[in-house]
Copies of this chain bind each other. A is one copy, B any other.
Amino acid sequence: MGKKKTDPELEKEVKKEEEEEEEDTKIVKDLKEIDDKYLAIEREYEKEVQELQKKYTERQTPLLEQRMKMLTDSSAAENQEDKALGTPACRGFWLQAMKNLPALEDQIEEWDEEVLEYCCDVKKSYLDESDNQKGFKLSFHFVENPFFTNDVLWKEYHTEEGSPYTGEIDTTEIKACEITWSEGKDVTVETVKKKVKGGGAKKSKQKGKEKEEPRDSFFRGFFRNLRPDMPMPDDVNLEEIQQMCDDEDDEEGMVEMLMENDHEIGCSVRDNLIPYAVRWYTGEAAPEDDYDEDDEEEDEEDDEEDDDEDDDEDEDEPPQKGKKPTRAAGGKAAGGDQKTEECKQQ
């Protein structure tokens, strides 16, 4: 009897497919042929661009290596203390560059900063050198440090073409390494005193019991595994995501939105931060703050971070220029997307 229920559904589906095929009148069929020819030429073009890109990347890579060597040259350190950090020649280079990148500035918390001073390089590579649409990998290299034992923290964006007609890229999975925190050094949690019910002798006995609770952190949010079919992770800052989500409130849509947003941040690291890290470090690359002075209260949030910096003032750390609330990490396209306006988009 169950079969009977299935049959009409199957029939319906077959009929639907037939209808869709029937739907194409002579003119639509002829038009589609032209469309296909157009797309075939586009594919040829894309292939040529990819080869061009590879050729030029090979010319640019030695420059990034040279940069890394200069930054990690410990003989150029201003003082003994800096020698153990990630970029002895320019203390806190990557921390500062990342803090000035709109896509990352809101991700880096106060407690992440000390850790990022041990970052010695940020690198990128494509998962499939013959097809960049398959995704890319970001690697954050660290020198020996008191916080974790990893020497590389990595993250992979697995993507595929969503539609040739919209240029949509779907993020199918985000894989990240696990961070092996040293004892008591995990900055992604905070130790809170456990609330004790009751009083008197019981309370004094339990006093001092502590519990670790997750808190916002670059190392928590950025190195997170995500798949479209997974439930929303508990430790995600839901408020931020909800702001991006407009009218969506189903959880599956939210995880996808989180992945899309994450992919945009990754593209900005790949296309803006890594190639022009020096200009992000100096602040020259940061978007100009063309707000009126009246808008300055919007920068209040950053004060905490700025305070930190004052201590280092005589260590060649440039001021944070152009800090402003930005949309890059949220709803708006990351710079990298706009960058390629000049690429062929027929």
Chain A residues engaging chain B, CB cutoff 8 angstroms: 23-25, 27-28, 30-32, 34-35, 37-39, 41-42, 44-46, 48-50, 52-53, 56-57, 59-60, 63-64, 66-67, 70-71, 76, 89-90, 132-133, 159, 163-169, 243-244, 246-247, 250, 253, 267, 270-272, 274-276, 278-282, 284-285, 287, 291-292, 294-295, 298, 316, 318, 325, 327, 330-333, 335-346
Contact = CB atoms under 8 A, between A and B. Distances in A.
Contact of A28 (B48, B90, B333): B90
B133 A292 contact: no
Contact of A53 (B70, B244, B343): B343
A274 B132 CA distance: 25
Given A59-B41, A246-B325, A250-B292, A287 B166 contact: yes
Contacts of A165: 272, 276, 279-280, 284-285, 335
Nearest to A253: B291
B133 A342 contact: yes
A342 to B, nearest CB: 5
Given A132-B341, A331-B246, A41 B27 contact: no
Contacts of A285: 163, 165-166
A285 B70 CA distance: 49
B31 A278 contact: yes
Contacts of A338: 166-169, 337
A335 B276 contact: no
Number of copies: 2
19 contacts: A30-B70, A35-B67, A38-B64, A41-B56, A41-B63, A42-B275, A46-B342, A49-B344, A132-B342, A166-B287, A167-B272, A167-B340, A169-B341, A243-B246, A246-B325, A247-B298, A267-B345, A330-B331, A333-B333
Contacts of A23: 282, 318
A53 B45 contact: yes
Nearest to A56: B45
A105 to B, nearest CB: 13
A79 to B, nearest CB: 14
Which one of A35, A332, A342 has the highest number of Cβ atoms from chain B below 10 Å of its Cβ? A342
Contacts of A341: 132-133, 159, 167, 169, 267, 337, 340
B316 A28 contact: yes
Contacts of A59: 41
Given A35-B279, A330-B331, 6 more contacts: A28-B278, A32-B278, A45-B52, A56-B346, A250-B291, A332-B333
Contacts of A270: 345
